[in-house]
Amino acid sequence: MNVALLVCYDGTDFSGWQIQKNGRTVQYELESALSRAFSLSVRVTGSGRTDAGVHAAGQVCNFPFDENIKIAPEKIADALNACLPQDVRVLKSAAVPEEFDACRSAKKKTYRYCVYLSRREHPLMERYAVRSGERPDPARMKACAALLEGEHDFAAFSASGSSVKTTVRTVYSAAVGEQMRFGVPCVSFDVCGNGFLYNMVRIMAGAVLAFGAGRLSEKEILAALRTGDREVLSKTMPAKGLTLLSVDYGFPLFGE
Amino acid sequence: MNVALLVCYDGTDFSGWQIQKNGRTVQYELESALSRAFSLSVRVTGSGRTDAGVHAAGQVCNFPFDENIKIAPEKIADALNACLPQDVRVLKSAAVPEEFDACRSAKKKTYRYCVYLSRREHPLMERYAVRSGERPDPARMKACAALLEGEHDFAAFSASGSSVKTTVRTVYSAAVGEQMRFGVPCVSFDVCGNGFLYNMVRIMAGAVLAFGAGRLSEKEILAALRTGDREVLSKTMPAKGLTLLSVDYGFPLFGE
């Protein structure tokens, strides 16, 4: 039986999703919980990696489950949660078609980047957002986000050193939201696309913020998209402001 | 010179505001930072205590500052932040009238209690909110909050064992808000009053939630207000969902 999980984690104390020799990883914690809960020794396939410090509200993964274990698929979540550390939780579990692969079957992913606006550090904000001492203009941020929508070569929005076949991706939507949280103004940048290059969302978020603060122009954004030149763009924003919100497979995995 | 601070802290790893023999406290961290930054050995007066685990976005305190130290009052915040652990920050500092006392001068305080609605624990929510597996009706929660507004004897909304002259308090406003956070439905209960009994906000929040879920009736809330009988009300909600939002002194302390 092929089982999918909807997984949420606080990335603060993780060295990312993917198992590695040194460092605590989400994938390891899940595989370890499967081993403890069900004596299952399997590889868990995630929709993709998340970097050290990146959070997830809706990561998806799948693994082969032993049919002989008598448990309703939707209860696997509870059994795993009993074995997981408190910064990872399985929100839902379900049996999925045999051909389902959390990575290869993914159609769209949505990420959120959170920034809070404050002259000084705010302890209640620091965990899931990054501070900006600037006062970016939300209208300008929205205009910049709109420039990034569509199919583009996002080479300029990618960390150097990554080897991929193509740097063309489609951004279905890029939106800027404003919220107050505990009295502090916050801006969020939500981006949905068919795939993302390494550090792409964090570089996009930095560009949107810089554009909002008047440090980048429309001409420069368009030139970056056209030329692939990373130089003009702002530096990559810190990991802790980034959260993987959801992965879309074109059908409801968990029966919603 | 009398100096006031606007202080923010993540209460998770604190045994509350007030200095005690065992346990890490916010008051101790501030006094310790004053000692390290300015070699000042003074007592810091808070607007009131907060319990272990309770957060603050806008706690206010004051202390006597040495006039001979050459620093602009608004820069004291930065000097202290350089000496504080990362879960406490001074957002603002200012010189205030000599007669100002953060506790006795306080006119109103506003607290927020945060609940998130989820069948299972959500690691990105757990730090500043409490999970409810119920689906409380927001309209009912708002109706309950409205019942608590005004001048009442809040004896039923107080932890036993506290000795105060009177249990009559005025609640200027009690409001319920709904938000989505990382895709998770959240409800917040904001209450502003001229003072609060021990555990009063946490008991009120529990009552509002129980009322919203249909576990408490208007008759029972009104009876609790009339008789002072704590029995009918829900139990005190956990500390981590509570945040001191602001303290109002009837004039702008920090020159806003």
Q: What is the DSSP string of A117-169?
A: E-SS--TTTTTT-EEESS---HHHHHHHHHHH-EEEE-GGGS-TT---S--EE
Arithmetic mean of pLDDT, A44-59: 97
Give the pLDDT of residue A160: 74
Arithmetic mean of pLDDT, A73-84: 98
CB within 8 Å of chain B, chain A residues 181-210: 182-184
For A12-50, how does the pLDDT look when each residue is reduced to its tens digit (9 = 90+)? 999 999 999 999 999 999 999 999 999 999 999 999 999
Q: How far is A115 from chain B (nearest CA, A)?
A: 14
Instruction: For chain A, say whether B141 makes contact (Cβ under 8 Å).
Output: no
Alpha-carbon distance B30 to A113, whole Å? 32
| Under 8 Å between Cβ of A147 and A221 | yes
Q: Which of B120, B179, B246 sits opposite A91 (nearest CB)?
A: B120
Check pLDDT > 80 for residue A163: no
pTM (two decimals) = 0.95
**Strands (DSSP E) found in chain B:** 2-9, 45-46, 55-64, 88-96, 108-117, 130-132, 150-153, 168-181, 184-193, 242-248
Per the prediction, chain A carries an average pLDDT of 96
For A99-108, how does the pLDDT look when each residue is reduced to its tens digit (9 = 90+)? 999 999 999 9
Q: How far is A12 from chain B (nearest CA, A)?
A: 10
Residue B70: Cβ within 10 Å count: 5
Give the pLDDT of residue B5: 98
Maximum C-alpha span of chain A: 61
Give the pLDDT of residue B162: 67
For A197-248, how does the pLDDT look when each residue is reduced to its tens digit (9 = 90+)? 999 999 999 999 999 999 999 999 999 999 998 888 878 999 999 999 999 9
The reply to whether residue A122 touches residue B57, judged by beta carbons under 8 angstroms, is yes
For residue A180, the surrounding DSSP H or E stretch is strand A168-181
CB within 8 Å of chain B, chain A residues 26-65: 55, 57-58
Check pLDDT > 80 for residue A58: yes
Residues of chain B predicted below pLDDT 70: 161-162, 256
